[in-house]
Amino acid sequence: MLKKLLVANRGEIAVRIIRAARDLGIATVAVHSAADTDALHVQLADEAVNIGPPAAKKSYLNMAAILAAAETTGADAIHPGYGFLAENAEFADAVAAAGLVFVGPSGDAIRLMGDKVSARSAAHAAGVPVVPGSSGRVAGIEEARHILIDTGFPVMIKAAAGGGGRGIRIANNLAEFEQAFPQAEAEALSAFGDGGLYMEKVIGRARHIEVQVLGDRTDAIHLFERECSLQRRRQKVWEEAPSAALSEGLRDRLCSSAVALARAVSYSGAGTVEYLYDDAADQFYFIEMNTRIQVEHPVTEMITGVDLVAEGLRIAGGEALRLKQRDIVPRGHAIEVRINAEDPARDFAPFPGKVGDLRLPGGPGVRFDSMLFQGYQVPPFYDSLLAKLVVHAETREAAITRLTRALTELSIEGMKTTKPLFLALAADETVRAGAVHTRWLEGWLSENADRLNDAQG
């Protein structure tokens, strides 16, 4: 078992990890920037170390400062949380090289899953369906025409050296493709000095469904799926478990494929395999694997009763998986919404305010993961997540009713938050019917902007 854990993160996830460590009797070290001296994770940990100025790259992304803090405090393990250094293979290697335990998979597993091409190959090799397309760079238009047999139209042509949406073209038919392919090649060459192209089928309306896995290098299990189709600018805002869209047969195949992938890469700790699910075609496709604990892990904890962060700490401490697949029995339905410091009435403008009177929801089936306290000044330097409100009930319908009840109890004076968005979504017929896809929320937002005004967070 680990003795002293350094938490290389901030905000609600640092608080969450410190709680799990304490439950297991592990001492905790918080690290913080100069802007987070008063933060809750600093107050809760047994020790705290200032690792640098407010800018994340000078503090929470500063590997040398974090490793030095671990050495000074005598920590024997580092938990990266999510974001920051969580999926940085170099950091995982550096932690191991310093003789410490990295709570998560090996640097090699992070590297393998972090590269789009190698992750796709690993998924394919493990029998996980991938989005039809080229298996790597396309050699030329002759090969490209061959790949079209798998992809069909519309097809996406992407520059291998591109990124962040740059160098992407979409062809809707063969004529467009014949024109677009050489253009994309020339454009990639001039823009990136590399004419290499990939091809991928365009998945139209799809749901985002992901499978939670736990591994101990030799074995892996799944803890069923989460659906996170409600997204704004590719950021999840509402997550739930289970997905109401899956049949039992499909759920089995989806979850088994995630376990196969986790086993194939000797996965260690908590991880998530993400998929797109095309309802109309009844097909699912691998997108990527996130090699860390995720923001939305509590919905899985609510339906399975498993503490994923604690299990991750036990595995990092050298224990074998305590749970067998048959031990994982889902019960009821859970929903999480992300309470962000953003003003939905002003196009979700960031709102780094000071927390006044604070009223938190409670009662049966309600969980509130947060770093808030009255008088807390939310710093402007980091992301806007303030809290995750998670509810659990026997059915999805009852969970939505409970969500509305809990949101009504929540009041964060002095702040603008995304609470009005979730009250409106919980009352929406389409959301209640679960008839959504990953681009649904953007359209709904442009039509319902007037419903998002609310005086107080």
Asked if 330 is part of the footprint of another protein (rule: CB under 8 A), the reply reads no
* 290, 384, 417, 438: residue in contact with another protein (rule CB under 8 A): 384
* 350, 411, 413, 439: residue in contact with another protein (rule CB under 8 A): 350
Stretch that binds another protein, among 165-173, 252-260, 341-349, 432-440 (CB under 8 A): 341-349
Q: Based on CB atoms, which residue is closest to another protein, 53 or 114?
A: 53
Task: Give residues 48-77 in contact with another protein (rule: CB under 8 A).
Answer: 53-55
Going by C-alpha positions, the residue among 311, 379, 371, 370 that lies closest to residue 336 is: 370
Q: Is 415 helix (H, G, I), strand (E, B) or coil?
A: coil
Task: Give residues 93-122 in contact with another protein (rule: CB under 8 A).
Answer: none
Asked if 381 is part of the footprint of another protein (rule: CB under 8 A), the reply reads yes
Stretch that binds another protein, among 141-149, 278-286, 376-384, 446-454 (CB under 8 A): 376-384
Asked if 284 is part of the footprint of another protein (rule: CB under 8 A), the reply reads no
Q: Based on CB atoms, which residue is closest to another protein, 182 or 380?
A: 380
Q: In the complex, what is the shortest distance from the CB of residue 380 to another protein, in angstroms, rounded to a whole number? A: 4
Q: Based on CB atoms, which residue is closest to another protein, 286 or 376?
A: 376
The answer to whether the beta carbons of residues 223 and 267 sit under 8 Å apart is no
Q: Which residues contact 225 (CB under 8 A, 6 or more apart)?
A: 209, 210, 211, 212, 241, 242, 243, 246, 251, 254, 255
Please work out the total of residues on this chain that contact another protein, with binding judged by CB under 8 A.
15
* 60, 198, 382, 422: residue in contact with another protein (rule CB under 8 A): 382
Q: In the complex, what is the shortest distance from the CB of residue 279 to another protein, in angstroms, rounded to a whole number? A: 32
Which residue has 């809707």 as its token pair?
172
Q: In the complex, what is the shortest distance from the CB of residue 54 to another protein, in angstroms, rounded to a whole number? A: 5
Q: In the complex, what is the shortest distance from the CB of residue 320 to another protein, in angstroms, rounded to a whole number? A: 39
User: What's the 3-state SS for 33-55?
Assistant: EHHHCCCHHHHHCCEEEEEECCC
Stretch that binds another protein, among 133-141, 345-353, 355-363, 424-432 (CB under 8 A): 345-353
Q: What is the spatial distance between Cα 452 and Cα 445, in angstroms, rounded to a whole number?
A: 9
Q: What is the spatial distance between Cα 32 and Cα 34, in angstroms, rounded to a whole number?
A: 7
Q: What is the spatial distance between Cα 415 and Cα 386, in angstroms, rounded to a whole number?
A: 10
Q: Which residues contact 414 (CB under 8 A, 6 or more apart)?
A: 353, 354, 355, 356, 357, 457
User: What's the 3-state SS for 229-254?
Assistant: EEEECCEEEEEEECCCCCCHHHHHHH
* 97, 186, 281, 349: residue in contact with another protein (rule CB under 8 A): 349
Asked if 380 is part of the footprint of another protein (rule: CB under 8 A), the reply reads yes
Q: Is 448 helix (H, G, I), strand (E, B) or coil?
A: coil
Q: Based on CB atoms, which residue is closest to another protein, 133 or 353?
A: 353
Q: In the complex, what is the shortest distance from the CB of residue 55 to another protein, in angstroms, rounded to a whole number? A: 6
Q: Based on CB atoms, which residue is closest to another protein, 13 or 147?
A: 13
Task: Give residues 21-40 in contact with another protein (rule: CB under 8 A).
Answer: 35
- The counts of H helices and E strands in the chain are 15, 20
Asked if 424 is part of the footprint of another protein (rule: CB under 8 A), the reply reads no
Q: What is the spatial distance between Cα 353 and Cα 358, in angstroms, rounded to a whole number?
A: 13
Q: Is 158 helix (H, G, I), strand (E, B) or coil?
A: strand
Q: In the complex, what is the shortest distance from the CB of residue 56 to another protein, in angstroms, rounded to a whole number? A: 9
Q: In the complex, what is the shortest distance from the CB of residue 343 to another protein, in angstroms, rounded to a whole number? A: 11
**314 included as an active-site residue:** no
Q: Based on CB atoms, which residue is closest to another protein, 54 or 129?
A: 54
Asked if 196 is part of the footprint of another protein (rule: CB under 8 A), the reply reads no
Q: What is the spatial distance between Cα 84 and Cα 35, in angstroms, rounded to a whole number?
A: 16
Q: Based on CB atoms, which residue is closest to another protein, 341 or 426?
A: 341
Strands (E), 291-419: 333-340, 342-343, 349-350, 358-359, 366-370, 385-393, 411-412
Which of 10, 292, 338, 367 is an active site residue? 292
Q: In the complex, what is the shortest distance from the CB of residue 86 to another protein, in angstroms, rounded to a whole number? A: 16
Asked if 383 is part of the footprint of another protein (rule: CB under 8 A), the reply reads yes
The answer to whether the beta carbons of residues 418 and 311 sit under 8 Å apart is no
Q: In the complex, what is the shortest distance from the CB of residue 12 to another protein, in angstroms, rounded to a whole number? A: 14
Q: Based on CB atoms, which residue is closest to another protein, 332 or 350?
A: 350
Q: What is the spatial distance between Cα 385 and Cα 11, in angstroms, rounded to a whole number?
A: 8
Which residue has 């998560």 as its token pair?
104
Q: What is the rounded (10 degree) CA torsion for 70, 75, 78, 84?
A: -30
Catalytic residue IDs: 292
Interface contacts to another protein, rule CB under 8 A: 35, 53-55, 341-342, 349-350, 352, 379-384
